[in-house]
Amino acid sequence: MICLGLEGTAWSLSAGVVDERDVIVLENDPYVPEKGGIHPREAAQHHSERVGPLLGRVFKRLGELGIKPEDIDVIAFSQGPGMGPCLRVVATAARVLSLKLRKPLVGVNHCLAHVEVGRWKCDARNPVTLYVSGGNSQIIARRGNYRVFGETLDIGVGNAIDKLARHMGLPHPGGPRIEELAKKGEKYYELPYVVKGMDFSFSGLVTAAKKLYDSGVRAEDVAFSFQETAFAMLVEVTERALAYLGLDEVLIAGGVGANSRLREMLKIMCEDREARFYSPPKELLGDNGAMIAYTGLLMYSHGYETPVENSHVKPDFRIEEVEVLWD
Ligand code: ATP
Ligand code: FE2
């Protein structure tokens, strides 16, 4: 079976085509704000202007591989969580495709897609997933359905990094720039480490790091101190979830998962506990259409379908709401 998946919960506009074995085509056209953060309406405007040409490129590449539009079996789209205006553009495009090609539609939970694409590509069985992106920071594992065992009480860690970067005059997205600066950091300054039970919080950390920067501390040391503090919080809770659930696999997901220091810290923790550390290839780590396509395929083959009349977007869609019928 072949599934075409559309992703567009926030800045990323992406279409992927997969079959059970692999990603066949992946095309991206991300929205990059000129300055400042992401404006939902501007991002949605970008998506609505670009989704047609993006799909044109996908069908062209499929044609070159001898795959015709009618060969697609299922259309999947990111139904939530995310920014309402962005979600609506992508849902509309998916409905049009479904009606035009007369193929079933499947609405996919974006967080679930991050987890399932990682399990697929890494052959992970039952991992504790650390899902860290701009908008989300969650520790997810399966107990029947998926459950969130810990999460941010305020902003996502990527958002926190981007806020600090912006304050330091660095362009969006700040993650890779803060990472480069942090590599040259030498001195650790203590910053608020906030873990409450299994949850954590980043907004106080951002405020304190901004103040540290304003007080004249070197940007490299601010970035270093920030990363060490924020990532230690995430690794602590991931480790606690592993111990509590008696599991031995950790999967990283989300754009912040590209950070080499976070990966190093997770690997060290996993080695200590004799757990395996898994990471999908970089193009499947951040938001992408292939993860939606794969999860749509998985759901469809287990009996899921989203009739067009039930395909409204869900900006607050939680992973726990999905009934998981597969292994
Ligand atoms: P979601 O909709 O799941 O919240 P998102 O829209 O934030 O996702 P992602 O691609 O998952 O998109 O993540 C983007 C975030 O990842 C940005 O905040 C960016 O700064 C951060 N990021 C990217 N590369 C790095 C890096 N090397 N180190 C730290 N953060 C990074
Ligand atoms: Fe995401």
Q: Decide if 248 contacts 112 (C-beta within 8 A).
A: no
CA distance 216 to 71: 60
**In terms of DSSP bridges, do strands 276-278 and 249-253 run parallel, antiparallel, or are they unpaired?**
parallel
- Distance between alpha carbon 309 and the CA centroid of its chain, in Å? 27
Task: Give yes or no for residue 23 CB within 6 A of ligand 1.
Answer: no
Helix ranges (DSSP H) in the chain: 40-64, 84-101, 110-122, 157-167, 175-183, 203-214, 219-245, 260-273, 289-300
Nearest CA to ligand 1 atom 14: 255
Structure tokens at 216: 């004249």
Q: Decide if 151 contacts 254 (C-beta within 8 A).
A: no
Cα–ligand 1 centroid distance for 153 (angstroms): 18
pLDDT at 8: 96
pLDDT at 38: 80
CA distance 161 to 234: 14
For CATH 3.30.420.40, the residue range(s) in the chain are: 3-114+284-321, 125-280
Give average pLDDT by consecutive 10-residue segment, the chain, 327 residues: 97 96 97 82 96 98 98 98 97 98 98 98 97 95 96 97 96 93 98 97 98 98 98 98 98 97 98 97 96 98 97 98 96
CA distance 150 to 129: 11
Q: Decide if 238 contacts 130 (C-beta within 8 A).
A: yes
Multiple choice CATH, 3-114+284-321, 3.30.365.10, 2.40.50.100, 3.40.50.300, 3.30.420.40 = 3.30.420.40
Q: Which ligand 1 atom sits closest to the C-alpha of 157?
A: 18
Nearest CA to ligand 1 atom 18: 158
Which residues is 278 bridged to in the sheet?
A: 251
Structure tokens at 291: 């993860």
Dihedral Cα 224, 230, 231, 237, nearest 10 deg: 160
Q: Which ligand 1 atom sits closest to the C-alpha of 172?
A: 20
- Distance between alpha carbon 260 and the CA centroid of its chain, in Å? 17
Cα–ligand 1 centroid distance for 175 (angstroms): 7
Residue linked to tokens 């399966």: 142
Angle at CA of residue 110, ends 144 and 317, nearest 5°: 75
Task: Give yes or no for residue 85 CB within 6 A of ligand 1.
Answer: no
SS3 104: coil
Cα–ligand 1 centroid distance for 142 (angstroms): 24
Cα–ligand 2 centroid distance for 80 (angstroms): 10
Give CA separation, 80 vs 87, 280, 309, in Å: 7, 22, 16
CA distance 137 to 104: 32
Cα–ligand 2 centroid distance for 158 (angstroms): 11
Task: Give yes or no for residue 134 CB within 6 A of ligand 1.
Answer: yes
- Distance between alpha carbon 235 and the CA centroid of its chain, in Å? 17
pLDDT at 172: 82
Task: Give yes or no for residue 185 CB within 6 A of ligand 1.
Answer: no
Multiple choice CATH, 125-280, 3.90.245.10, 3.40.430.10, 3.30.420.40, 3.30.465.10 = 3.30.420.40
Cα–ligand 2 centroid distance for 132 (angstroms): 8
Closest CA to 314 of 41, 12, 110, 34: 110
Q: Which ligand 1 atom sits closest to the C-alpha of 260?
A: 27
Is the sign of the CA dihedral 35, 37, 41, 42 positive or negative?
positive
Task: Give yes or no for residue 5 CB within 6 A of ligand 1.
Answer: no
pTM: 0.96
